[in-house]
Chains A and B, each alone.
Chain A
Amino acid sequence: MDGLNRLLFSGPLLLFVGAFLLLPSLQIGASALSDGHGGLTLRYIEALGQPQYRTAFQNSVLLSGTTALLGGLLGTLLAFLASGRRGWLAEAVTAFSGVAANFAGVPLAFAFIATLGTTGLLTQFLKQALGLDLYGSGFSLFSYWGLVVVYLYFQIPLMFLVMTPAVAGLRREWREAAEGLGATPFQYWTRVVLPLILPPALAGTILLFGNAFSAYATPYALTSGALPLIPLQIGSALQGNVAADPQQGAALALGMVALMLVSLGLYFALERRNSRWRQR
């Protein structure tokens, strides 16, 4: 009975995960190892070592890492700032985050072009009103740091949304109890808040990493692949009119899956170490 119940409730989920996560992953693996004529080959996996793919992996990891860390930090900070405060500002931040976290793709790219592009509104305003020439001082929306700015636009709100419940879960009684037992504020933050906040913060950061790692339309619209990123390379290998090479695309995707597994593994390891105190 218990087993049946378990199956009844987990069954659909397992089916879903199987159909939309496991099967496609397996198929990607199979495609990456196939030579297209029914045989096996390691050619496409080996090709991942070629300079253009290596740079793309480096850029993707770096860009996703930077925006995940920055976004994670700022998003968490924002969650703390907004918590406990009621009123229109906190509500506005929450509402805005819900929108911004899901603002992506070409519309996002275009919004930034219109704002921060070479002829963008903000760019022009800074130049005319304050004499600050963004592009003259080396900034470009169409470069690595340009993408960091654009990504942060959805990363920070996403982190904020993820962290808000966690921060709201910190009860005032705990602080009072800690203070009552003679803890300094520093001790309270490092020994009570941090262990409580770290697991969701880590999970959130991993989520941000994956979020940035898989972004496609936005960086394509802004850089046309001049800044090599893995999703863009996969895009041109799979649906390109020029460099079509489906198996290579699958091999690249396999590389992405592997990297995500590594980061998830890292997360679980950290989480386990971190949660030891709870078992004590």
Chain B
Amino acid sequence: MKRYQALTRREMLKLGGVAAGALTLGSLIPGRAQAKTLNTIALPPDWANYGEIMATFTRKYGITINNASPNASSAEELQALRSLKGQSRAPDVVDVGPSFAIQGKQEGLFAPYKVRTWDSIPANMKDPEGYWYGDYFGVISFGVNTSVVKKVPKTWADLKDPMYKGQVALNGSPLTAGAAFAGVWSAALANGGSLDDITPGIEFFAQLKKMGNYIPVDATPATVQTGQTPIVVDWDYLNLGYSKEFEGKLEWKVVVPSDGVYGSYYCQAISASAPNPASARQWMEFLYSDEGQLLFLKGYAHPVRFNDLVRRKVIPAELLAKLPPSEPYAKVRFATQNQLKKAQETLKAQWAAKVG
């Protein structure tokens, strides 16, 4: 105590410089993070298995995670980066939708960093300069109650079979629910449409409705259990999540329609003003390692390097057995922000008129 009091201002500065140098040095060596905390935001513990991912990370590297507002939205995450800039409680990393990732890069909110597994991240799910990259994705799937449905449909074309009369349901209105909207788009891909043209999907559902196969009930676990909605079009991770809920009550199978693999993904990025940059990089390395990616998969969120994991056969057989066949996932397609806007306008103008 006494010694420090005797230090001159100049010496003090020097000492500070050394300390800062030591910190920088420490942060340059991966796996040897000096800082022992990581600030995350908007990671719900029951979403994409984040609970287990965070616990494993802390156990492995001794880095405590401060996870702020677990249920915040992408917009709120970016706002936190802007308004908490320079504070020690500012988020180090964020998990946002692609449009917000692009916006964050434009605003200079992110710092580029390429993880060691960078090359195995598909090009359509990453920023070429490494400012952000997809972490996990979901695709549109059919959840099928096989206690009611004897022959499991494998494609959108299958759903036109009269034996599925009154059995196909969406998770809400495509004008309101993102999953239902994606379902229509997936059907479009299967029927001559494209990421620039959702109309064939609308026409497909109009046709299904006319045949009586599509029933406009808002599918919920309850409607599945009564048998009212034996075929539910929804994100694969949600349909897979239901498996547990239905256990012992009904047989539930999830398939990805191979003729229209439509997906959406989330992106991970490091804050440009991260208070714990070393921990942030450690977090990224962990998430994109095989171990981290498999943990996402355990929560039924397909990790961004899923196809690489399949190719290298590193997915445990018991985990693979719980998932739908992996082949269709190689064909997954994602829409850009402009394509999304255009499809939304088209749907808004046509859905009610054609399907209603």
Contacts and interface: CB of A to CB of B under 8 A. Distances in A.
Interface of A: 50-52, 55-56, 109-110, 113-114, 117-120, 135, 140, 142, 220-228, 232-233, 235-236, 239-243, 245
Contacts of A235: 176
B349 interface: yes
B344 A242 contact: yes
Nearest to A228: B352
A225 B175 contact: yes
A118 B166 contact: yes
Contacts of A140: 215
Given A52-B349, A240-B176, A243-B176, A228 B222 contact: no
A50 B348 CA distance: 11
A223 B216 contact: yes
A232 B218 CA distance: 13
A243 B345 CA distance: 7
B140 interface: no
6 contacts: A50-B349, A119-B148, A224-B170, A226-B356, A228-B352, A242-B177
B177 A241 contact: yes
Contacts of B44: none
A225 B352 contact: yes
Contact count band on B: 20 to 34
B228 interface: yes
B351 interface: yes
B1 to A, nearest CB: 58
A242 B216 contact: no
B293 to A, nearest CB: 27
Nearest to B182: A242
Contacts of B174: 224-225, 242
Contacts of A117: 217, 223, 226, 228
Contacts of A232: 173, 175-176
Contact of B351 (A113, A118, A225): A225
Q: Which 5 A-B pairs have the closest CB atoms?
A: A225-B173, A226-B216, A228-B352, A236-B175, A241-B178
Contact of B353 (A52, A142, A222, A227): A52
Contacts of A113: 217, 223, 226, 228
From A140, A221, A224, A225, name the one whose CB has the most chain B CB atoms within 10 angstroms. Answer: A224
Interface string B314-356: 0000000000000000000000000000001001111111011
